[in-house]
Amino acid sequence: MFEQNGRNRHGRDRLAKPVMYDPADSEWGILSPRPLNRWAKKRPTKRVMVLLVCIFIGCVYGVRVWRERQYFEEQREQRQLDYAKDQGSRQRVEHKEEHKEKKPAPPVDPNDPYAGRPKPPLFGKYHQAELAMPQHHVADPFANGKKYLWVENHVHGLGWGNHLQDLVFNAQLSYSAGRAFVFDNYTWNRDGSIYSDFNGKLIPSQIPLSALITSPINGGPYFENDAKLRGIQREYWHKICPEPKLVSTYDVKKLYNGNEPSALTILNTWVDVLSKIEEPCVKIDGYTERIFDMYMYGQKERLLDIWPVLRESPIVKLFGYSPLIHATYEANRHLFTTLPFYEPYFPCSAVPGSTTDGDLQKLPPARCSDPYQPIPGLLALHLRRGDFADHCQNLARWNAAWMGFNSFPSFPDQWVRPESGGNGESTPENMDMYMRRCYPSIEQIVARLQEVRAHPASKGLKDVYIMTNGKPDWVDELKGAMRAMGGWDKIASSRDMTLDAEQKEVAQAVDMMVGERAQVIIGNGWSSMTSNIVMMRMVRGLAPETNRFW
């Protein structure tokens, strides 16, 4: 660029003061004040390139604008055609409807007792799921000496609490005798009807157990290798056992020592009788008395001696609720707790909260949780209304005691029978005492809440869930009185749950699950539902002082 004499190739001194830039020497002539001169000095090849680029960009833009205009024009024409077709079709349909002969309403079947009344669901898919269980599809149902027990005279026509009591004890007998339990539906009416009338509305006459529970009671797995113990559905039983061995409870009752045997005596006597029967199919006569009589459940002297056997049994240790009940709980969990949902449930074993060596056990601890763990801060109240207004008065007239499982000696609240009254009569003092603890008024409920909140086991209570069949107006009045107490973050009730048609028919099981999980429960000592809740709380190891009563 520079010669030896220090001048550049244009003859200028490199050390001299710079001169004005000469546009004639510029390749592009950017600083030229004369465009024509600047254009003339450019290289021809680069001028052509610039022109081509500009022409290309212009063409692309022009084609794009043209295509967009064409596209929008086509869309406008298509919309006009669609509108014309729609108008024509609508006119034809309207014309057809105007001239169509109207069909008369279908006649009401005079022989249909349910005509014109809302019909509840029948849970058919749950029944089919039960029949699809693997134990109903084996080559030999009597392989390895498998035997069965069908208790035909089980409870029916009573509430879920009474039905569950009977289920647990009959299933325990079958398990202790080494026979597979034959389970039936939750039965309100066994006359073959599909619907029954209850307080003026239709309810299902039978509900499959799988819509309510998941347990060895209704064909679920046991702890151990259970090929010989897995329960079967009644329909399958009738298929494989057309001629079973018939046993009458009247014959077995003669073997009892006394007229009011304890629960453990009844269990052991029946186990001894069944162990001597070689036939694989045994049926308890449906026209005889129940194995475990109804009075036993309300007599702690007769009932509690079976507790050491029952609390270690898979019948109750593996007891759980159905997917339908869990789904209902999750849909309404905002009513039971203000805690955020932070951990999904992944079972640790066949039943939550237990540990086995089964196929379902090998899960990472971080993903394993118990869906029945206590809900911190939740107080559950069981307030039975409705028919209990008369029932509680009847209990007073007969000096009835609490249910046996509501009477564990370790509970802080106990029932002491009054000395006066009984045999169908009662004094005003006795009646007041029974009604206060069986059918308390709102003022009595609030006073009892103040007492329970003062107990150390109630520390941290902040949410209340009221399990009740009371009328909405009464529930609202109770809520108002409880809010006036202060100290509650949330107060909700069974009446606040959002339920679909199926969930409405099993809502009592949802209440039971919430009661089992509450930090503290205040229950009704004469209620079978409270009794079942308390039994499961004791099985799961909750402190006895968290079980309170009115």
Handedness of CA 103, 108, 111, 117 (dihedral sign): positive
Output phi, psi for 218, to 5 deg: -115, 45
- What pLDDT is stored for residue 499 in this prediction? 96
CATH number of 124-316: 3.40.50
Q: At what angle do helices 442-453 and 472-485 cross, to 10 degrees?
A: 40
DSSP letters for 341-386: -------SSSSTT---SSTT----GGG---TTS-EEEEEEEEE--T
Q: What end-to-end distance do the CA atoms of the chain give, in Å?
A: 109
Closest CA to 170 of 109, 217, 116, 203: 217
- Name the segment(s) of the chain with CATH classification 3.40.50.11350: 340-549
| Domain 340-549: CATH architecture, name and number where available | 3-Layer(aba) Sandwich (3.40)
Give Cα separations from 355 to 61, 105, 402 (angstroms): 72, 60, 34
The Cα 215–Cα 262 span in angstroms is: 26
- What pLDDT is stored for residue 22 in this prediction? 46
Helices (H), 11-43: 35-41
- What pLDDT is stored for residue 195 in this prediction? 94
Task: For residue 6, give the 3-state DSSP assignment.
Answer: coil
The Cα 174–Cα 229 span in angstroms is: 9
The Cα 184–Cα 167 span in angstroms is: 9
Per-position pLDDT tens, the chain of length 550: 444 454 454 455 545 444 444 444 444 444 444 554 554 455 567 677 777 878 878 777 776 766 767 766 776 777 666 666 666 655 555 555 555 555 665 566 667 777 778 899 999 999 999 999 999 999 999 999 999 999 999 999 999 999 999 999 999 999 999 999 999 999 999 888 999 998 889 999 999 999 999 999 999 998 767 778 999 999 999 999 999 999 999 999 999 988 899 999 999 999 999 999 999 999 999 999 999 999 999 999 999 999 999 999 999 999 999 999 999 999 999 998 876 654 444 444 433 333 333 333 333 333 346 889 999 999 999 999 988 999 999 999 999 999 999 999 999 999 998 877 777 788 889 999 999 999 999 999 999 999 999 999 999 999 999 999 999 999 999 999 999 999 999 999 999 999 999 999 999 999 999 999 999 999 999 999 999 999 999 999 999 999 999 9
DSSP letters for 67-106: HHHHHHHHHHHHHHHHHHHHHHHHHHHHHHHHHSPPPPPP
Task: For residue 506, give the 3-state DSSP assignment.
Answer: coil
- What pLDDT is stored for residue 90 in this prediction? 59
Closest CA to 433 of 397, 474, 383: 397
HEC readout, 165-232: HHHHHHHHHHHHCCCEEEECCEECCCCCCCEEEECCEEEECEECHHHCEECHHHCCCCCCCCCCCCCE
